[in-house]
Structure 1
Amino acid sequence: MKDAQKPDHVSLNTLILRLKEGRFVIPDFQREFEWKPWDIRDLMRSIFLDYYIGSLLLWRGKKENFDALSCEAIYGFNGDGRPESIVLDGQQRLTAIYYAFLAPAINLPSRSNQAIYTINIEKFMAEIYDEAFGYDWLTQRWKKILGNPEEQFENHIFPLSVVGSGGWDLPNWVQGYEQFWRKKAADAESSGDSAKFDIANQNVENARMFGNHLKGITEQYQISYIELDQDLEIDKVCDIFTQINSRGVRLDIFDLVNALLKPKGLKLKQMWRDAAPRLEFVDTERMNVYILQVMSILRQGYCSPKYLYFLLPGQEKQVRNPDGSRYKEVLIADIAEFEKAWNKAVSALESAIKVLQHPQEFGAIKSDYLPYVSILPAFAALQAHVNVLPAARQLDAQRKIRHWYWASVFNNRYSGAVESTTARDFIDLKAWIDEDALEPSFVFEFANTFRNLDLRKETKRGTSVYNGIFNLLVLQGARDWMKGTVPLHNNLDDHHIVPASWGAEHVKGGLIHTILNRTPMTAETNRLVIRGRLPNAYLPELIRESGEATVRAILESHFISPAAFDILLREPFTPEDFEAFITDRQRTIIDAIENLLIKERLDLTPQLRELDAAIEQVELPLRQVIEGASTGDLSSIPPHVLQKVDVRLSRALKKNAALNGEHYQTLAGKLEYFGLRELQDTITSKALWPNFETIFANKETLIKKFDQLAELRNGIRHSRSVDEITRKEGEAAILWFNQVLKK
């Protein structure tokens, strides 16, 4: 049997020679060479510092393979090549090596000039690596420098093209550099200039050591590669290709699928060009792959690269039955079905993006503030799934999606490799939508651990938690500090509350940049109101113009509590005051996460949010009253109440092993899982009513107030629509309970 893979390695010198001879060719499905000039520079840095640059994936070529994949020479190669290997993964790195070391007379893509690459030997030997590697454009000045070795020696400029020249050019250059500074040292010694002698002598030593380093890198630095056998079938090559994970610019599975669809008469790249404007809000180069992933998730529940291969029209997929037997199925029958599935996926992504960017849905008003781009395929597929459910089930399904989404954001769930997470979440969420008891464990755990979030350390824009908090501020309806209105969201950005300039002097560790000290506001407000001043300077001005109550209300819409507001006004404002401010804002934001996300008050109007919180404040003292009246005796609680509560507790304990089971065997623990009706049934039971009669006086009145309270709670929690009578009666019940319980 032929070897499918032949792992090997090649020295830098040998690789450059093979590139020079045109032995590598690029298949048509590869993307164009698109590295920026600094990307090439950074690769040179990695090579000269002896870093691993990833493995290449090659396919030993033959005429049929070269023709089938429409292979072309590497960018910049001009001449008659000797093609041997098709580059499946590594084109960007190989082309960068070719361009830097062989200096072809061609401009970089999208540039108006040729780039040249150099090493500053003086900085390299001083280990100032970030400044040692450079590039510049081939101007007349640089043409003179490249044609004058002595100017190179004088300024310690080593052109990387010397390495690719071959023959004796490299050793001659190194020898010439060392001799140049030996002569400088001799001249300085003759003239008695000790300072110049010391500098020249150091350069001689640097030249010797740099020469040794060059020899080691060019002769001993190894680039690893895997070469596939030339007779390997193309479908096996595709499967191997999708599983190779290198550190270079990774080949896109989209390009491979496009190449395989070409013979079937389907122009996938044109389909992507047509779809791209509909999805341009999100700044990512992987959106075309996301469309394929959504197609795959909706068809087969999986979206890793090897599964995308089965989206090809007519491609058979082997499926295992529960009994172990196997059969083959075709996911996409023909071109027309592929186009239909593609259009459905594009529409799903477009709708999902609109929902995510909506300021009253998920608050990602700018692409920069989307917590994860990689969550899009799962989110879009779930939205598409929910849209085909019966209308009566969609409200609950969307509620569960919101819980999953925010738990994912604040748990950094989509920060790494996500294909397997995407597939698992889609399958798990579908099951949870169908059955309440199947809530994913990480969603349940987030509801119990969110208070452990440390928002102080969220100082970098773009992280999921940082962006998630910014989204919540948008959802909260954060109002403009200068105009008091909710500003146009395309005009919002996050700015410091306590200015960064003050923090640079008074706050350590970059803490001034924490999300706890940032909030969405317009550039105009930042420029005209804050102006780099402390809050105790700009807040009094706002108060004089608009009144303290108005300014406090505006800042509360930014999760700045009355206590935090007072801290900001302190004079003088000290580092201790800053610490007190962010501590209070941490508490306020965590409370907001609980109220808006965990307790599902996000979709409620501010008035209904307050009512829902007020109902909760009635429940807490009722539990305390029951615990006191029953002296912690579980036997006094009605059996049907305990049965309902134990079912809820059992589900909770199964989902979260960290919960203290012993605590929930006590009445105090079980009371945490009592609903309004369980509280009512317990208080009005025959066994316990005598203990409560002195508090509530009349059982019929108490039951009526519970009914009004429950009617309001159910209206808030389920229909999201509360009529005026229900609201008024509910408010009256809240007042009645508060007055009675105060006694």
Structure 2
Amino acid sequence: MRECYEGKLQLPDFQRGWVWDQDRIIDLLASISEGFPVGALMTLDASGEVSFAVRPVEGAPAPVKPLEAYLLDGQQRMTSLYQSTFSQMPVATQTAKKQPTKVHFYFDIQAALDPNVARSEAVIAVPEDRVIRENFGRDVKLDLSCEEYEFDALHFPIDRIFDENRWQISAAQWMARDPIARQEKWEMINRFAQEVVNNFTSYHVPVIKLGKDTSRAAVCLVFEKVNTGGKPLDAFELVTAMYASEEFHLRDDWKARRERLIAQKVLAKIEPVEFLQAISLLHTKERRNEAVAKGAEPPAISATRNSLLQVPLDAYKKLAGKVEAGYVAAAKFLHSLKIFNSRDLPYQTQLVPLAAILAELGSTWENDAVRQKLAKWYWCGVFGELYGSAVESRFALDIRDFAPWINGGAEPQTVQRASFEEKRLRTLRSRLSAAYKGVHALLMKSGAEDFKSGQPYVQTVFFDENVDIHHIFPEAWCKSEKIEPAIYNSIVNKTPLASATNRMLGGVAPSAYLGRLHKGNDSNPPIAADRLSAILKSHEIDEALLTSDNFTDFMDDRRSKLLAMIEAAMGKDVVRENILPMGREDDYYGEEELEEAA
């Protein structure tokens, strides 16, 4: 407590605010009063190379002595104890219903000494003025606003627990004025000091002390392991605290960059750690190139948490603008692939190497040959489904391999290892899949035009018309034909359409809604036969199969066309299989698979 008061023990600034409510504080005080363990604290020697911006434990004054240690684990307990036992100020906490409140904590001495009363019931929270009122504040239930009232009511102020001797001396003086009447209370005060107060003053808390040689990565790992009660700490918060020790406000810098980046809707979900990962890729690659030039052992290119913690502030300042430009270029590139919205982005994670590659390439990426290779790499990542897990190692390979590739070197590992199997199409049913979103984008990229308006899906149309992926053979019609959901919900039976167009199609057979499009109505002019044929063709749809409501042959035909589209995007053959036509679900799908899909 003294170290918190003096500032020798402080919180690293990545620690979140104090959040315990008064019931949790009461439980903590009750446990200590009975000598029960409340867990260990963890500190880090502040004299090592790991340096964080700090702040005092909440409620403590400005530091008067040099910092000696960071409190890594135990913030909630130490802050609760400091405010309730060491500070004379009311504890600024909250009720169980999360309403802010300021209270002082007291022991009801009689209840604390009664073995039949739970110790937590002997701890009470009293308002800031130390008066408990009832009847809507009109009546005083308990007044503890001065020491004599405390003695008379046998209520001990817990914020005097380490100054109990003076409180007891005042109690002795109070008793001397009426020794006979107050003898019983004096005896209880003495017993309380021995049985309860001594448990606080002699209490030992285990402290795990991390030495000054502890690495930044170890600090981050340790903190995440012990901080199980709240949101996991990420590397950005640690880096923020480290840069703050050099008087650089990373959080403010990131906030400004993020505001500029999310103006592009495809970047709306960008996370600060992802931005740091892109910086780390470029920084570690620079260090690797420098080592190679000197003939030294080259360090690894990396975007792991450890590497993020090793990015010095001068490297961040040097590369942040470059990476931001890389993300802006990434948005432009994605728009060219008809990916406009973060919701339709196949992999959020693939943005990291994409932005890093584009940051390194600069304006070179707009060269047609480079753009073609970039698109091939991107679609291989999407349809190879390579960015779902263990992505940091793939990031490093991407940034290592891409530049040599455009200069005549070998294909990147992502391109080499990507593989798409024909059977995968039947399992693509929701936008949770990167490949599902990839097909959606490829259809728009290949020139798909809206069934009703005939407009291609450029960015303005996409947002103005609320374009999304919808069924071609409507769901209601498929149900009426007893077709399994596992079949008709496949991406093969879906295509991008404006929301108004999808509503106009309704749940009727394709032949019926094609008739509506041909005929038109008061609000929709008729579409010429050859024009409608061209529109359907832009969606890789055979008009004759749609007109005849031939679902089985339609699915087989369109599957084949989608596979060809995917092959063209990846620049390699998909893995074909010898299977029965897609619409013949009884043979094509096993019974268990159908049940699972349904």
TM-score by length of 1: 0.47
Q: Does 1:582 align with 2:555?
A: yes
What is the distance in 1 between the residues matched to 2:219 and 2:268?
26
* Aligned amino acid, residue 258 of structure 2: A
CA distance change for structure 1 residues 484 and 396 in 2, over 3 Å: closer, same or farther? Answer: closer
* Aligned amino acid, residue 412 of structure 2: P
* Aligned amino acid, residue 385 of structure 2: N
Any idea what the Cα deviations from partners look like across 1:515-536, whole Å, max 9, x if unmatched?
1121111111112x21222212
1:254 Cα offset (Å): 0.7
Q: Are the aligned partners of 2:52 and 2:242 in contact in 1 as well (CA < 8 Å)?
A: no
Aligned to 1:518: 494
* Aligned amino acid, residue 456 of structure 1: R
CA distance change for structure 1 residues 583 and 346 in 2, over 3 Å: closer, same or farther? Answer: same
CA distance change for structure 1 residues 584 and 167 in 2, over 3 Å: closer, same or farther? Answer: farther
Classify the secondary structure of the residue corresponding to 2:473: coil
* Aligned amino acid, residue 272 of structure 2: N
Aligned to 1:276: 258
Q: Are the aligned partners of 1:407 and 1:442 in contact in 2 as well (CA < 8 Å)?
A: yes
Aligned to 1:86: 72
Q: Does 1:241 align with 2:220?
A: yes
What is the distance in 2 between the residues matched to 1:408 and 1:511?
26
1:567 Cα offset (Å): 2.4
Aligned to 1:232: 211
Any idea what the Cα deviations from partners look like across 1:337-370, whole Å, max 9, x if unmatched?
63232122112112212221x1xx2221211111
Classify the secondary structure of the residue corresponding to 1:486: coil
Q: Are the aligned partners of 2:45 and 2:210 in contact in 1 as well (CA < 8 Å)?
A: no
What is the distance in 1 between the residues matched to 2:445 and 2:74?
46
What is the distance in 2 between the residues matched to 1:276 and 1:264?
22
Q: Are the aligned partners of 1:26 and 1:72 in contact in 2 as well (CA < 8 Å)?
A: yes
Classify the secondary structure of the residue corresponding to 2:469: strand
* Aligned amino acid, residue 540 of structure 1: G
After superposition, residues 590-739 of structure 1 pair within 5 angstroms as: 590-598=563-571
What is the distance in 2 between the residues matched to 1:165 and 1:535?
73
1:551 Cα offset (Å): 1.1
What is the distance in 2 between the residues matched to 1:442 and 1:60?
43
1:64 Cα offset (Å): 6.4
1:471 Cα offset (Å): 0.8
Structure 2: stretches of 5+ with no match in the other structure: 1-9, 20-38, 60-68, 78-92, 101-117, 123-205, 286-301, 520-525, 576-598
1:549 Cα offset (Å): 1.8
What is the distance in 2 between the residues matched to 1:493 and 1:294?
30
Q: Are the aligned partners of 1:386 and 1:398 in contact in 2 as well (CA < 8 Å)?
A: no
What is the distance in 1 between the residues matched to 2:490 and 2:500?
22
Classify the secondary structure of the residue corresponding to 2:358: helix
Q: Are the aligned partners of 2:347 and 2:382 in contact in 1 as well (CA < 8 Å)?
A: yes
1:403 Cα offset (Å): 1.6
Structure 1: stretches of 5+ with no match in the other structure: 1-24, 35-56, 75-82, 92-102, 115-163, 169-226, 314-331, 601-655, 659-743
* Aligned amino acid, residue 550 of structure 1: R
What is the distance in 1 between the residues matched to 2:399 and 2:40?
35
What is the distance in 2 between the residues matched to 1:541 and 1:483?
13
Aligned to 1:303: 303
Q: Are the aligned partners of 1:26 and 1:71 in contact in 2 as well (CA < 8 Å)?
A: yes
Classify the secondary structure of the residue corresponding to 1:495: strand
Aligned to 1:341: 319
Classify the secondary structure of the residue corresponding to 1:371: coil
After superposition, residues 562-581 of structure 1 pair within 5 angstroms as: 562=542, 565-570=543-548, 573=549, 577-581=550-554
Aligned to 1:458: 428
RMSD: 4.1
What is the distance in 2 between the residues matched to 1:362 and 1:432?
21
What is the distance in 1 between the residues matched to 2:469 and 2:432?
12
Number of positions where the alignment pairs a residue of Structure 1 with one of Structure 2: 390
* Aligned amino acid, residue 271 of structure 1: D
What is the distance in 2 between the residues matched to 1:244 and 1:498?
53
CA distance change for structure 1 residues 419 and 537 in 2, over 3 Å: closer, same or farther? Answer: same
1:381 Cα offset (Å): 1.1
What is the distance in 1 between the residues matched to 2:446 and 2:430?
22
Classify the secondary structure of the residue corresponding to 2:399: helix
Q: 1:410 aligns with which of 373, 383, 391?
A: 383
What is the distance in 2 between the residues matched to 1:456 and 1:399?
28
* Aligned amino acid, residue 553 of structure 2: A
* Aligned amino acid, residue 439 of structure 1: E
Any idea what the Cα deviations from partners look like across 1:637-668, whole Å, max 9, x if unmatched?
xxxxxxxxxxxxxxxxxxx9x9xxxxxxxxxx
CA distance change for structure 1 residues 244 and 68 in 2, over 3 Å: closer, same or farther? Answer: closer
What is the distance in 2 between the residues matched to 1:239 and 1:273?
27
What is the distance in 2 between the residues matched to 1:367 and 1:441?
26
What is the distance in 1 between the residues matched to 2:537 and 2:372?
26
1:273 Cα offset (Å): 1.1
Q: Does 1:482 align with 2:452?
A: yes
Q: Are the aligned partners of 1:28 and 1:71 in contact in 2 as well (CA < 8 Å)?
A: no
* Aligned amino acid, residue 355 of structure 1: F
CA distance change for structure 1 residues 284 and 486 in 2, over 3 Å: closer, same or farther? Answer: closer
What is the distance in 1 between the residues matched to 2:387 and 2:439?
16
1:583 Cα offset (Å): 2.2
Classify the secondary structure of the residue corresponding to 1:498: coil
After superposition, residues 118-517 of structure 1 pair within 5 angstroms as: 229-233=208-212, 236-242=215-221, 249-280=231-262, 281-282=265-266, 287-301=271-285, 302-313=302-313, 332=314, 338-356=316-334, 358=335, 361-387=336-362, 394-436=367-409, 438-444=410-416, 446=418, 449-450=419-420, 452=422, 454-487=424-457, 488-490=461-463, 491-504=466-479, 506-517=482-493
CA distance change for structure 1 residues 441 and 423 in 2, over 3 Å: closer, same or farther? Answer: closer
Q: Are the aligned partners of 1:89 and 1:250 in contact in 2 as well (CA < 8 Å)?
A: no
Classify the secondary structure of the residue corresponding to 2:443: helix
Classify the secondary structure of the residue corresponding to 2:55: coil
* Aligned amino acid, residue 586 of structure 1: R
Classify the secondary structure of the residue corresponding to 2:209: coil
